[in-house]
Chains A and B, each alone.
Chain A
Amino acid sequence: MLSRSRRILSRFRNLFRNNRAEEELAREVASHLTLLADDFERRGMAPEEAQLAAKRAYGGVEQAKQAHRDERSLLWIEQTIQDLRYALRMLAKSPGFATVAILTLALGIGANTAIFSVVDAVMLRSVAAEDPQRLVIFSWSSRHDPKLNGLSSYGDCDDNTRDCSFSVPFYEALRSHTATFSGVMAFGGGLDVDFSGNGPANIARGEFVSGGYFSTIGTKTIMGRPLGLADDAPTASPAIVLDYSYWQRAFGADPSAVGRTVRLDNVDVAIVGVAEQNFTSLTPGKSQDFFMPLSLAKRIRGEWGTQDRLSDPATWWVVLGGRLKPGVSIGQAQAEATTLFHAEVLNGAKPIFSEGDAPTLQLLPAREALNGESNQIAAMLELIMTAVGLVLLIACTNVAGLILARSANRQKELAMVASGWWIVASDLRGITLRNCVSFCELPVLGDFLATSH
């Protein structure tokens, strides 16, 4: 009995280790043929002749290998298929039970899938950047409020102890002086603007991004080109890159969208590219319809007031990010950036802070810094997730109860086959498989319920 179960176990292992077994078999057959040929040679044959004779004596090499393979794994698969058929037959025999069990579990799993997809999008998904470990976001804190003309944030960082809006001049100082970053970028938005030139005019949401945005994050375009440093120049002809899903939605995924000219508020801009599909926004849960260069902030004012937010050091509204150079630690980069920050806010032409405010700069990994609004809804999501988890648990308990009640009916059947361990084992496998079959149908149904919300 023991050796029988061992054999089943080893066949099961062989299902997964087939390659190794195959290699070993080939090696063994080759060694066998060599030994045979050696013997023939010793009896006075020429080497080639001996090799041929060895093959003859061995019989078909391929047949032998096939027999080996069959012996390795066939039986197990056959029996599994048998049990699977049995499982389906038994389910079909009691459609009422099957329906109740499947629906109960589908409901539980559907609810979990739906909530989990939200949790995943908001809390778990890592930042959509290449090598996100080396992408950092700037944030500041101080003892007293800064003397600013304007301070805006667009829900990228949600934290009461620090702020991650900066001025465009600070971004430019950073860009031209940094030795620790291989790329720096600034972005702000999204802003709702009039979008016309593509069917009826409508409102679309655009994000202002600096020229280094795409290259620093490592985002590509599926068509056309991303925005680059050249687009930052005030004289550059205005260009935008469409978000993938907006391109699908508003342009019907038309490839000729790239190269078309549209109008944002009162500015004609050219569509130069479409961002890749798996990138929507650095900040989880945020999205926009298109990306526009920072330089357009002068001409597309949105809801903004009197100050020129591209040149005013006291208007803080962009989020800054940078990619660390290889071998540079976050601490080194922070030290360098702090020096630049203090030069700007304490000793600049128009000081924002006084020494007593103790302004400090902190660099955080993008994933940590850009939590969007997840902090506010995290607690609620956790609660809902726990609740639907309990619903699934209850559903499982109910189904387990149903199965138990039904098994009572099968006692006679089981008693009949209890004459041998092996038979019981195979029957148990049948029962388990049948339960597995019901479970396998469930994720499909669960998905269906989740997507039909």
Chain B
Amino acid sequence: MKKMMPIPILQGTLDLMILRTLATMGPQHAYGIANRLQQVSEDALNLNQGTIYPALVRLEQHGWTRGSWSKTEKNREAKYYAITKAGLKALEEETVRWRQMSGVVEKLLAEEQ
């Protein structure tokens, strides 16, 4: 099989992915989040690690995450993001919306074939 070309991130999906990651794994720093996304996608995502920063700002401004500084196990300082109650609610809504959306797209694509 040909090696898959990395796919660019679909507009608006990064926020959802980050929220999901935080909900599953608990508080994470930016590097942890980026790592997790890369692992899950099996490197299929074309993700520069710096790309997630605007999304992190957005989420924090919405009040869906809260950032605070602390130490990693190896005693490095890092800003940890935790999902808030409002964030959990938003995650639920966004998940539903995404399922609907991708369902529609899937259906359309299936009919075309």
Residues in A lying within 8 Å of B, measured CB to CB: 2-4, 6-7, 10-11, 24-25, 27-29, 31-32, 34-36, 38, 57-61, 63-65, 67-68, 70-72
- Alpha-carbon gap, A63 to B58, bound state (A): 17
Nearest residue, chain A, Cβ from B79: A28
B51 contacts chain A at the CB level, 8 A cutoff: yes
Q: Are A67 and B53 in contact (CB under 8 A)?
A: yes
In angstroms, Cα B90 to Cα A71, docked, is: 19
Is B62 a contact of A3 with CB atoms below 8 Å? yes
Q: What's the minimum C-beta distance from A24 to chain B, rounded to whole angstroms? A: 8
Q: Which 10 A-B pairs have the closest CB atoms?
A: A59-B48, A64-B50, A71-B54, A35-B31, A3-B62, A7-B61, A59-B50, A10-B61, A71-B57, A67-B54
Contact B57 A3, beta carbon cutoff 8 Å: no
Contacts of B77 in A (CB 8 A): 27, 31
Q: In the complex, A10→B53 CA distance in Å?
A: 16
Q: B63 contacts which chain A residues (CB < 8 A)?
A: 3, 6-7
- List 6 other contacts, CB 8 Å, given A3-B64, A7-B63, A71-B54: A6-B63, A28-B30, A32-B30, A57-B48, A58-B50, A65-B53
Residue of B nearest to A68 (CB): B53
Among A32, A61, A70, A71, the one with the most B-chain Cβ atoms within 10 Å of its Cβ is A32
Closest to A11 in B: B61
From residue 52 to 98 of chain B, which have CB atoms closer than 8 A to chain A? Answer: 53-54, 57-58, 60-64, 72, 74, 76-79, 86, 90
Please state if A71 and B58 are interface contacts (CB–CB under 8 Å): yes
The majority secondary structure among interface residues of chain A is helix
- B contact residues around A34 at 8 Å (CB): 76
- Closest A residue by C-beta to B77: A31
With contacts A3-B63, A7-B62 taken as known, whether A35 is within 8 angstroms of B29 at the C-beta atoms is yes
Provide the bound-state CA to CA distance between A68 and B59, in Å.
12
Q: Complex Cα distance A32/B52, Å?
A: 12
Which residues from A are CB-within-8-Å of B58?
7, 71
- Taking CB atoms, residues of chain A closer than 8 Å to B41 are none
In the complex, the answer to whether A64 meets B61 with C-beta atoms within 8 Å is no
Q: Are B48 and A58 in contact, with the CB atoms below 8 A? A: yes
- Chain B residues bordering chain A, tally (CB within 8 A): 24
Contact of B49 with A by CB under 8 A: yes
How far is it, in angstroms, between the C-alpha of A14 and the C-alpha of B23 when the chains are bound? 27
Cβ contact within 8 Å between A3 and B90: yes
* CB within 8 Å for A31 and B48 given contacts A3-B63, A3-B86: no
Question: Which residues from chain B contact A6 at a C-beta distance below 8 Å?
Answer: 61-63
Contact among A3, A27, A36, A64 with B53 in the assembled complex (CB-CB below 8 Å): A64
Give bound CA distance, A61 to B51, whole Å.
10
Residues of B within 8 A of A70 (CB): 54
B-side contacts of A28, CB under 8 Å: 30, 53, 78-79
Instruction: Please measure, in the bound complex, the distance between the C-alpha atom of A65 and the C-alpha atom of B53, giving whole angstroms.
Output: 8
Assess the A35–B90 pair: CB atoms within 8 A.
no
Closest to B31 in A: A35
Tell me the bound Cα distance from A324 to B61 in angstroms: 55
Most A Cβ at <10 Å: residue of B48, B49, B63, B86: B49
Question: Is there contact, CB below 8 Å, between A32 and B61?
Answer: no
Interface string of B31-50 (1 = CB under 8 A from A): 10000000000000000111
Compute how far the CA of A25 lies from the CA of B57 in the bound complex, rounded to whole angstroms: 10
A352 to chain B, nearest CB (A): 75
Residues from chain A with a CB closer than 8 A to the CB of B50 are 29, 58-61, 63-64, 67
A60–chain B nearest beta-carbon distance, Å:
7
CA distance A3 to B63 in the complex (A): 7
Say how far B73's CB is from chain A's closest CB, in angstroms: 11
Q: Which residues of A contact B64 (CB under 8 A)?
A: 3
Note all chain B residues with C-beta closer than 8 A to A3: 62-64, 86, 90
Q: With both chains docked as a complex, state the minimum distance between the C-beta of B58 and any C-beta of chain A, in angstroms.
A: 6
B26 to chain A, nearest CB (A): 17
